[in-house]
Structure 1
Amino acid sequence: MDKPVDKAVEKDVDEAVETATDRVEFETMLLSRHSHLHAPRTRVGAGGLDRSAYVLLTRIRMHGPMSIGQLTDAFGLDASTLNRQTAAMLRSGVVERIADPDGGIARKFRITEEGERRLEADRSFNIGGLERIMEHWPAEDVIRFADFLERFNRDIERLEGRPWPRT
C-alpha cells in the first residue's frame, strides 16, 4: 500500500516544483522589468553608465586588466560585440588600453579613475534603490534572498562554464 502513496506524493512534489519553476520564470521576467528602479540605465543621461559598461567595468575591476579574448571567454560574446562596447567605453574615458602587464601580445583594458568613480556612483545608486525596495524586510530575509540569488547565479555560471569572481 505504500507504493501508491509514494507515487501520489511524488506527483504532488513534481507538480509543486513545476508550478514554482513557472513562478521563478515569471518573477525573473518582472525583475528585469522592474530593474529601472535601481539599475544604472536610469542614470545614463545623468552621467551614469549603460548596462554593458556597468557589467564590463565590474568584471574588469574584479579581475584586473582584460583583453578582448579574455572578455569573450568571460561573457560568451563575440569579439565584434565586445569591440563595439569597449570602443564606447574608451570614448567615454572609463577604460584605457594598456600593454599586457604579464608581457602577452594582446593589449588589455584597464579601468580608469573616471571609470572607478562612475562605477562606484552607479553601484551606490543601485544599492540605495535596493535598500529602498527592501527597507521593510527583516535582515534575515535580505540575507536569505542574497544567498538564493548567489546560488541561482552560480548554477547559471556552472551550466555556462563561465564562473564570475566573487569577493
Structure 2
Amino acid sequence: MAASTGPGASREPKEPRMDKPVDLIEFETMLLGRYVHLLAPRDRREGERLDRSAYILLSRIEAEGPMSIGQLSAAFGLDASTLNRQTAAMLRAGVVERMPDPEGGIARKFAITAEGRRRLDADRARNISGLRKVMAEWTADEIADFAGHLSRFNRDIERLDGRPWPRD
C-alpha cells in the first residue's frame, strides 16, 4: 500500500537533530521551559500563586533588599514602563510596599510585605516539592552534580549578560 502524501496524511514524527551535545542542551532547555509549570501546578485549594514576574522580582528584592525602579531596571535589563506595570500589580496584590530609601536617596524603593513573604515562601516550597517529586529516584550525588552544573550554566549566562544574580 502506497503512503498518502496529500493534505491530512499522517506522517512519522520527525526526530530532533541531536548530532551535537549543544543541540541536545537546546532541545532539553526548550522542553524544560515547557514543563516548569508542571513542577508545582496551581491548586485552587492552596490559594493564589504569584505570577512568574512577581515571583522573580520578589526573589531579587529578597536577595538584595528594597530596590527602586532604576535598580530593578539595571538588574533585569527591563525598561521602567514594564517595571512600573509589574510593580503596580504587585502593590495592588499587597506583596510589596513603597518605602523611602533607607540610605536617604530620592527614589522610593519596593520592599516585600509580610503577605509577599508568605506567598513567596509558599510558592518556593511548592516548587521545591515539585522538584523533589521529579528527582525522587535520583541519588544525593546526582542532585548535587545537577545543581552544580545548573548553577555554572546560569552564572555563565549572567557573565555574558553582565547582570549577575546575587547569591549567598
Above 0.5 in TM-score?
A: yes
Letter in 2 for 1:60: I
1:22 aligns with 2:23: yes
Matching of residues 77-156 of structure 1 within 5 Å: 77-156=78-157
Identical aligned residues as a percent = 65
Letter in 1 for 2:77: G
The alignment of Structure 1 onto Structure 2 pairs a total of residues equal to 150
Cα distance in 2, alignment partners of residues 38 and 47 from structure 1: 16
State the TM-score, normalizing by the size of structure 1.
0.86
Aligned match of 1:4: none
1:111-161 per-position Cα deviation (integer Å, ceiling 9, x unaligned): 000000000000000000000000000110000000000000000000000
Aligned match of 1:51: 52
1:99-119 per-position Cα deviation (integer Å, ceiling 9, x unaligned): 000000000000000000000
Compute the displacement of 1:37 (Å). 1.7
* Aligned residues of 2:40 and 2:129 also touching (Cα < 8 A): no
**1:48–1:74 CA distance, 2 compared to 1 (3 A):** same
Please list every run of at least 4 consecutive aligned residues from structure 1 whose deviation after the TM superposition is greater than 2 angstroms.
42-46
Cα distance in 2, alignment partners of residues 124 and 39 from structure 1: 9
Cα distance in 1, alignment partners of residues 166 and 55 from structure 2: 16
SS in 2 for 1:80: helix
Cα distance in 2, alignment partners of residues 43 and 87 from structure 1: 25
* Aligned residues of 1:99 and 1:108 also touching (Cα < 8 A): yes
